[in-house]
Amino acid sequence: MRIDIDAYHELLETLLRNKARSFLTGFGVFWGVFMLVALIGGGAGMKELLTNNFEGFATNAAIIWEQPTTKPYHGFRKGRQWTLATGDIERLRAQVPQLEVISPLASRWGVQAVNGDHKFSCSVKGQLPDYADVEAPKIYYGRFINAMDIAQQRKVCVLGKKVYKTLFPGGGDPCGQLVRLDSAYYSVVGVNYAAGNMNINGSADEAVVIPLSLMQQAFNMGDRIDLIAITARRGTAISDITPRIREVIARAHDVDPTDEKAVMVFNTEVLFGMMDNLFSGVDLLIWLVGIGTLLAGAIGVSNIMMVTVKERTTEIGIRRAIGATPRTILTQIISESILLTAVAGISGILFAVIVLQMLELGMTEDGLLKAHFQVTFWTAIGAAALLAALGVLAGLAPAARAMAIKPVDAMREE
């Protein structure tokens, strides 16, 4: 039997060309799905990382502090120094009923915390128990300061995470042990592992919290305070009552109520609103890029299927001649399109999940996961359903071309 070498080479070349086309087309779909899933998972992880920076901080809060005046008032020149006082707490409580929590804060930096041979230069914060409603502590051992500590003038403290790990390198529950702050000793009642990075008058990790009244006595502060943290009642926006807050405090200290730089009010609602808008824009960008890449892959599938149908004109014509119905041809072409899209797409989903899992492994600290970068089960199912729909759409035009082939024309072309 004589072998037609030219025909054999032509057949082999056709098979290799079809394999190369299928691979390139499949890679386009694979990359599109990988981009979509990876961007969704990565975007969710980045959102969680950013959100963790404000973990535990009230979204309807504001921080008030004083600065030198910038306007003359009641005979005083501009540039005058003034200070907040504990009396401002009662003024705000009496004259601004829309406020829910009004908690003062005093701080000192560079205080030496000592336990045995271990030392740590930390900040000391004087707070009241209700400050936990503004910046929630994450108590790892013990408790936060309470009303009895204030009423009985107890010399107690709550250690931040870094302070605790430095002073107690062996770990364990430090509650009940004594820690020296400068020249005074305090009994440890809790350890705060709060992970937020709002850093109100210093990081919580590097701070030691003591009762406010004790702080004022230990550091000879009198009734002076550094900050006032507030939260608004439900349904009240901080921005709506900011002028009233500024007026109440300013008039008590002979400061012009319109001097916004003298009575600073940092509204966290604005910050959280900006974050929400940022995340919404990022989500929209992720879907636009991901779906755009997927559509490009689907168009590639459609083009390859068109070429394949053209090369299989004779085969389709013969099948039509021996009785194949248009529906059979349609089903075959669309099935091939769906199969090509599904195999490449599911491979892209699996690869994206593996990459996201590796990213999660690198986002651990002290054995705890900082953020979740994985997509949800229903996100993966939705991506698979989208792939199936794109496979059907990609196969419609080639299938219509295949159904239009007439057996006589196919034989003539052969």
Per domain, the residue ranges of the chain are: 5-54+273-413, 61-266
Q: Locate all alpha helices (DSSP H) within 209-323, ordered by sequence.
A: 212-218, 238-252, 268-311, 313-321
Instruction: State in Å, rounded, how far the first CA of the chain is from the last one.
Output: 24
pLDDT digit string (tens) for 314-363? 666 666 667 767 677 777 777 777 777 777 778 888 888 888 888 777 76
Per-residue DSSP letter, 76: B
**Dihedrals phi, psi of 393, to nearest 5 degrees:** -65, -40
Three-state secondary structure call for residue 179:
strand
pLDDT of residue 357: 81
Residue 210: its H or E element: strand 207-211
Report the amino acid identity of residue 238. Answer: I
pLDDT digit string (tens) for 278-312? 878 877 887 787 777 777 766 766 666 666 666 66
Distances from the Cα of 211 to the Cα of 19, 148, 177, angstroms: 74, 10, 17
pLDDT of residue 209: 94
d(Cα 158, Cα 142) in Å, to the nearest integer? Answer: 9
pLDDT digit string (tens) for 203-248? 888 899 999 988 888 888 888 999 999 999 888 888 899 999 999 9
pLDDT of residue 230: 92
- The residues, any chain, with a CB within 8 Å of residue 222's CB and separated by 6 or more, are 216
d(Cα 261, Cα 202) in Å, to the nearest integer? Answer: 22
d(Cα 192, Cα 162) in Å, to the nearest integer? Answer: 10
pLDDT of residue 366: 59
pLDDT of residue 10: 46
Chain-centre distance for alpha carbon 166: 30
d(Cα 285, Cα 47) in Å, to the nearest integer? Answer: 14
Q: Is the pLDDT of residue 14 over 70?
A: no
Strand partners, 341: none
d(Cα 391, Cα 343) in Å, to the nearest integer? Answer: 11
Is the four-CA dihedral 125, 131, 133, 139 of positive or negative sign? positive
Per-position b or e across 298-336, b if 16+ CB within 10 A of its CB: bebbbebbbebbeebbeebbebbeeeeeeeebbebbbeb
